[in-house]
Amino acid sequence: MRHALLAGAATLALSAGSATAEKITIAGPWIGADEEHVQVVLDAFEKASGHDVSYVGSDSFEQQIVIDAEAGSAPNVAVFPQPALAASLAAKGFLTPLADGTDDWIRENYAAGQSWVDLGTFPDADGNDQLFGFFYKVDLKSLVWYLPENFEDAGYEVPETMEDLKALTEQIVADGGTPWCIGLGSGAATGWPATDWVEDLMLRTQPPEVYDDWVSNAMPFDDPRVVAAIEEFGWFARNDDFVAGGAGAVATTDFRDSPKGLFSSPPQCYMHRQASFIPSFFPEGTVVGEDADFFYFPSYADKDLGNPVLGAGTLWAITNDSPAAHDLITFLETVEANELWMARKGFLTPHKGVDLSVFSDNTLRGMNEILLGATTFRFDGSDLMPPAVGQGSFWTGMVDYVGGKSAEEVASDIQASWP
């Protein structure tokens, strides 16, 4: 049975699933401002439930949770920045399945609900699939950034389909401009921005189950469908006319510097595809929603694949079972738990029941509208692949590709590196 209250009734007797109030410990990756934000949510849970709640944040969470689980001293609930680590702990028997009915609640109340069930479901120690993870706090990657003033001056409209986006790319060149700024530079992590492009394009050219097979290597990296997605990225990135500085500058331009071309006069480029964090690298004083804005990296009109969204998020899992731990998961389902953080900073949610006017700024509200419009959500694929690939050969392979190596050869090299 599920514990405690129905979603939206957080002020009621949340601890009805517990005989008495309990001490509940939570560990996660948040320190600094995010720790302050999550503490507000946990304080509300504590007040509603009567449980004694303690959160510990750490910038070495991923290492510490493994040590604690293997030592038998894990917290009641752990907040995982990505599913792969949670899946590995589930396979070792260190996670407790969520309460019966949680999967049905997610399907009914989250946009693209089945996606969130899939992402939180892993084999247990006996190899049986079970729902272990509840996603709360999501990030969005499928965004294209632009300056409304530049579009208005040139007479361009925000494209609604991938076909429109490609046509706009060609129109900008015909008008004497450069459509895109793209930069893959990131020190030892150079190449990662291109993996996001390929992942987004995989979701727009193939069904989500094909994406899943690619990420798990059930479908090899050098499958023609993957090669085609890499070449779709190449359509944008390997054309000298399409990219500021020419194709040769893509690999050497730092991703933090690449959006600056939007703000030059005249503009060095008109569009920049990057995740929701990129305004941190816009010129000081830039007001998002006014000076700069974003639109959804669109899907193809001629493919019946809906509106897929690529992103990331935090998965909450029970690492030391107790009734209070299940109560916390149920509290995270409530509108209250979501809107408390929405009213602050850095929070997006797939919860369909929230009031978007609660958001503290229009930027987050607009991003959340894209998230709620998603028909499929998938996690950043490179983060789910073995590190030797996702944070290794995939990165370097994309640098080789923009440098002129064929998509087939790059994909074959990456496949050969798979552990």
In a domain, 76, yes or no: yes
Same domain, 273 and 404: yes
In a domain, 346, yes or no: yes
d(CA 372, CA 170): 30
In a domain, 203, yes or no: yes
**Residue count (the chain):** 419
Residues 171-230: tens digit of each pLDDT: 999 999 999 999 999 999 999 999 999 999 999 999 999 999 999 999 999 999 999 999
pLDDT at 19: 57
Edge-first strand listing for the sheet containing 143-146:
272-273, 143-146, 293-296
Closest-CA residue to 53 (of 18, 77, 72, 37)? 77
More confident residue, 156 or 5: 156
Q: Is the backbone peptide bond immediately before 386 cis, with ω within 30 degrees of 0? A: no
**Which helix or strand (DSSP H or E) is residue 205 part of?**
helix 192-205
In a domain, 9, yes or no: no
Same domain, 161 and 288: yes
β-bridge pairing 133-140 and 308-318: antiparallel
d(CA 329, CA 316): 8
Closest-CA residue to 294 (of 129, 93, 140)? 140
Mean pLDDT computed over every residue of the chain: 94
The answer to whether the CB of 294 falls within 8 A of the CB of 365 is no
pLDDT at 16: 47
Same domain, 330 and 288: no
Q: How far is CA 42 from CA 46, 78, 251, 327, in A?
A: 6, 13, 43, 12
The domain that contains 191 carries what CATH number?
A: 3.40.190.10
Quick one: average pLDDT of 280-304? 96
Residues 22-47: tens digit of each pLDDT: 999 999 999 999 999 999 999 999 99
Closest-CA residue to 353 (of 366, 375, 338)? 338
pLDDT at 9: 42
Does pLDDT of 14 surpass 60?
A: no
Lowest mean pLDDT among 151-155, 224-228, 259-263, 361-365: 361-365
3-state SS, residue 129: strand
Cα radius of gyration rounded to whole Å, the chain: 22
Same domain, 91 and 208: no
Does pLDDT of 255 surpass 80?
A: yes
Same domain, 288 and 395: yes
Residues 379-417: tens digit of each pLDDT: 999 989 998 999 999 999 999 999 999 999 999 999 999
The answer to whether the CB of 419 falls within 8 A of the CB of 388 is yes
Same domain, 302 and 391: yes
Same domain, 246 and 320: no
Q: How far is CA 94 from CA 55, 86, 103, 204, 257, in A?
A: 19, 9, 20, 36, 42
In a domain, 61, yes or no: yes
Write the DSSP symbol of residue 50.
Answer: -
49 is written with which tokens?
């439930």
Report residue 361's pLDDT band, with 50, 70 and 90 as the boundaries: confident
β-bridge pairing 121-123 and 129-131: antiparallel
Report residue 20's pLDDT band, with 50, 70 and 90 as the boundaries: confident
Closest-CA residue to 346 (of 277, 255, 289)? 277
Report residue 2's pLDDT band, with 50, 70 and 90 as the boundaries: low
Give me the number of domains the chain comprises. Answer: 2
Same domain, 300 and 321: no
Residues of the domain holding 363: 14-140+309-379
pLDDT at 401: 98
186 is written with which tokens?
């990131």
pLDDT at 1: 45
pLDDT at 6: 41
d(CA 365, CA 102): 26
Does pLDDT of 4 surpass 70?
A: no
The whole model's pTM is what? 0.91
Does pLDDT of 73 surpass 90?
A: yes
Does pLDDT of 11 surpass 50?
A: no
pLDDT at 360: 86
Same domain, 332 and 372: yes
Closest-CA residue to 360 (of 380, 373, 343)? 343
40 is written with which tokens?
């507000």
d(CA 306, CA 296): 13
